[in-house]
Amino acid sequence: MFCFTQFWIIIFKPFLLYFPRDIDCTQYYAAQLLAAVEWLHSKGILHRDLKPENILLNEKMQILITDFGSAKLLPRAEDGAMLQEVKRKKNEI
């Protein structure tokens, strides 16, 4: 199982190499990344391949998430709410 802390170390290691003492910069990009992932999840999209190579910066130094080839779209209930991971994959069959 991949640890949440390991995930953030891998994602932000490139930023820490370029901006080792700039905590504000790291917090800025962490907040952007979290906001982007939260927005994707609110739309029922799971990226499933989030890594530094799939996070780009535009000309305004804002995060762009790319490579949705392995993304998963979660089905929605009739009221618009996401189903609980398709009823936990049909109770894990």
Q: Strands (DSSP E) along the chain, which ranges? A: 45-46, 55-57, 63-65, 72-73
Is 79 marked active-site? no
| 85: Cα separation from own chain's centroid | 17
Please, what is the average pLDDT of the chain? Answer: 75
CATH of the domain at 26: 1.10.510.10
Which residue out of 22, 49, 67, 79 is catalytically annotated? 49
Q: How long a stretch of residues is the chain?
A: 93
CA distance 53 to 66: 9
Give 69's DSSP letter.
Answer: T
Reported as a single tens digit per residue, the pLDDT across 66-82 is 999 999 988 776 655 55
pLDDT at 1: 44
Question: Structural domain tally of the chain?
Answer: 1
What Å distances lie between residue 84 and 47, 49, 88, CA to CA?
17, 21, 6
Q: Which domain holds residue 28?
A: 4-92
